[in-house]
Chains A and B, each alone.
Chain A
Amino acid sequence: MAKNSIKWTKKDLLGLEELSVEEITMILDTAKSFKEVSERAVKKVPALRGKTIAHLFLEPSTRTRISFELAAKRLSADTIGVSGAGSSILKGETLKDTAKNIEAMKVDMIIVRHASSGAPHVLSWFVSAGVLNAGDGAHEHPTQALLDMFTIREKKGKLAGLNVSIIGDIAHSRVARSNIWGLTKLGAHVTVCGPKTLIPVEIERMGCHVTYDLKEAVRTADVINVLRIQLERQKKGLFPTIREYIMKYGITEDVLTKYAKKDILIMHPGPVNRGIEISQEVADGPYSVILEQVTNGVAIRMAVMFLLAQYKAGK
């Protein structure tokens, strides 16, 4: 009864670009069941007992790393953490060698975050363990987009037909790319908005709409996903001053009152620069679901790990 019409057939989760509508829906549906586990007295189920999961985080992260660790632990998997600093990567070991060595110790799944786009893909060719992309360069961050979609679906009851505006630094954002792939596949309309220097040319080819006018992006939106302004970029002169950015693209109470729909949903993947891309009042305000996104992140990651663990080689 209530069987999935499709089977999970992938060894890895590398991005949303390569997932089908059915696979994305399957992850979102599975996550719904896992959300309840985190609310129990004993926040642990024995589903992945005896499995070992390595967290290979070669770029800084708090939220994503803790979220993956918690997800693995709540499924009863054993986890080991490897970070760039303090590992043999500093001694010049290649990613391939590091991964091969981890695998030689019989690890079942590798969660990888890497500064280079495509690193998890390369890794997945070399190892038979499942590879889960926790963010690669400016390419994809699939679990973040999945938790964003899960949160929208939970709040709005659907994804198809909704207008989602992603605002900020699109060019350097893997969150934006994964969101565009996932949301458009599930029938939402995506608009990206930001200064011209932060929007890649031809991004329309991913199936989204582009505007440089914040008012337009806010007015049409059912959901606004505010991206972090990566302050280090400002030094490269991609926008004149932080102050100018705030004035043109900052999401403030004033902007929302003037232009936004009454039931707007405000999301942010974190970490938040309060007072820059989003004001204090909006980040903590009634439309904000930023902390719910974090809660849902654990459920999404549990679901993905559970599904990847079902993959059987040769079937």
Chain B
Amino acid sequence: MPLKIKSHLMDKEEIGRAIKRLSHEILERNPDISMLAIVGIKYRGMYLAERIAKEIRNIKGAEIPVGALDITLYRDDVSQVSEQPVVHETTIDFDVNGKIIILVDDVLYTGRTVRCALDELIDFGRPKMIQLAVLIDRGHRELPIRPDFVGKSIPTSLEEAVEVKLNESDGQESVILCEKG
């Protein structure tokens, strides 16, 4: 689907600042970092999770475990989407039991991806708490899900799409608002 760019929402500096601020907010809410773990939703959520973990390391001087979720197998629309889903690996190399897990994704929209991620995380054990951090909240929830930490809230229409581009996956840093073609 061809996308027409409507406006630039964030540039490299703004994304960097948002990640810094998210990291500080996470630490403010969770001062005991020994219980903390970060899990990103593949792929851009995973890159953001790694950046937040790095930021926390810079601030606190301590490592926190990072994991990555591939939610393909938990989707509720596998048989509906026209494009065949590709399964990737989920890597959670630590014990989630009793942990406070910060779930990270790039864009929060309908909330269905987060629902998948919650179901999948809980199959690994019983975390003490799961908190949700997103770079962009664009609204239009279809499930009762709300984020705990938001980089930027952007009111959008259903005819628009938000694209997050990160160095790790796209070779550039930007958030753009597009018109669905």
Stretch at the interface among B51-59, B83-91, B129-137: B83-91
Q: Does A68 contact B (CB under 8 A)?
A: no
Cβ-based interface call for B5 (8 A): no
Bound CA–CA A30/B73 (angstroms) = 12
Q: Is the CB of B70 within 8 A of A33?
A: yes
**In the complex, what's the smallest C-beta–C-beta distance from B94 to chain A, in angstroms?**
12
Tell which of B11-19, B25-33, B118-126, B139-147 binds the partner.
B118-126
Which residue of chain A lies nearest to B95 when distances are taken between CB atoms in the complex?
A: A41
In the assembled complex, B78 has its CB within 8 A of some CB on chain A: yes
Given contacts A36-B89, A36-B90, A46-B73, A41 and B125 within 8 Å (CB-CB)? yes
Contact of A46 among B43, B70, B74 (CB under 8 A): B74
CB B124 to nearest CB in A, in angstroms, measures 6
Q: Does B34 contact A (CB under 8 A)?
A: no
Contact (Cβ within 8 A) A33 B89: yes
Taking CB atoms, residues of chain B closer than 8 Å to A3 are 83, 86
CB-CB contacts below 8 Å: A238-274 with B: none
Is B169 in contact with chain A by the CB < 8 A criterion? yes
Residue of A nearest to B170 (CB): A1
* A160 CB–B CB distance under 8 Å: no
A-chain residues with CB within 8 Å of residue B79 when the two chains form the complex: 309
Report B174 CB to chain A, min CB distance, Å: 16
Decide: B84 and A8 in contact? CB cutoff 8 A. yes
Contact of A41 among B74, B87, B90, B124 (CB under 8 A): B124
* Given known A33-B70, A41-B123, A45-B74, contact A1–B91 (CB-CB < 8 A): no
Q: A1-B43, A41-B124, A42-B124 are in contact. Are A30 and B119 (CB under 8 A)?
A: no
Bitwise, A73-96 to B at CB < 8 A (1) or not (0) is 001000000000000000000000
Q: Report the interface size for chain A: residues with CB under 8 A from the other chain.
A: 24
A236 touches B (CB below 8 Å): no
Q: Which of B43, B83, B124 contacts A2 (CB 8 A)?
A: B43
Contact A36 B91, beta carbon cutoff 8 Å: yes
In the assembled complex, the CB of A300 is this many whole angstroms from the nearest CB of chain B, namely 13
* Cα of A34 to Cα of B89 in the assembled complex, Å: 7
| A101 contacts B by Cβ under 8 Å | no
B-side interface mostly: loop
Given the contacts A42-B123, A45-B73, A47-B78, A7 and B89 also touching, CB distance less than 8 Å: no
User: How many interface residues does chain B have, given as a range?
Assistant: 20 to 34
Interface string of A191-213 (1 = CB under 8 A from B): 00000000000000000000000
Q: Does A57 count as interface, using CB distance less than 8 angstroms?
A: no
Tell me the bound Cα distance from A304 to B49 in angstroms: 32
- Tell me whether A4 and B84 are in contact in the complex, defined as CB-CB below 8 angstroms, given that A33-B89, A36-B89, A45-B74 are known contacts: yes
Give Cα A3–Cα B85 distance, bound, in whole angstroms: 8
Q: How far apart sit A8 and B86, CA to CA, in the bound complex (Å)?
A: 11
In the bound complex, CA of A306 to CA of B73 (Å): 9
Q: Contacts A33-B89, A46-B74; is A40 near B84 (CB within 8 Å)?
A: no
Write the chain B residue with the least CB distance to A76. B73
* Cross-chain contact B73 with A1 (CB below 8 angstroms): no
Interface string of B44-87 (1 = CB under 8 A from A): 00000000000000000000000000101110001100011111
A36 and B87 CA atoms in complex are apart in Å by 12
Asked if A121 CB lies within 8 Å of chain B CBs, one says no
Q: Which residues of A contact B123 (CB under 8 A)?
A: 40-42, 44-45
- Whether A2 contacts B88 by the Cβ 8 Å rule is yes
Residue among B43, B78, B120, B124 facing the most chain A CB atoms (10 A cut-off): B78
**Interface check A234, CB cutoff 8 A:** no
Q: Among the listed A1, A46, A47, which residue makes an inter-chain contact with B169, where contact means beta carbons less than 8 Å apart?
A: A1
Question: Which chain A residues border B73 with CB–CB below 8 Å?
Answer: 37, 45-47, 75, 306
For residue A310, CB closer than 8 A to chain B, the reply is yes
B125 in contact with A33 (CB, 8 Å): no
Chain B residues near A (Cβ < 8 Å):
43, 70, 72-74, 78-79, 83-91, 119-120, 123-125, 169
Q: Enumerate 21 A-B pairs (CB-CB under 8 Å) in ascending A order.
A: A2-B86, A3-B86, A4-B84, A4-B86, A7-B84, A8-B84, A30-B86, A30-B87, A33-B88, A36-B90, A40-B124, A42-B123, A45-B120, A46-B73, A46-B74, A46-B119, A47-B73, A47-B78, A303-B87, A306-B73, A310-B85
Q: State the 9 A-B residue pairs at the shortest beta-carbon distance, nearest first.
A: A42-B123, A45-B73, A47-B73, A33-B87, A33-B89, A4-B86, A310-B84, A7-B84, A41-B125
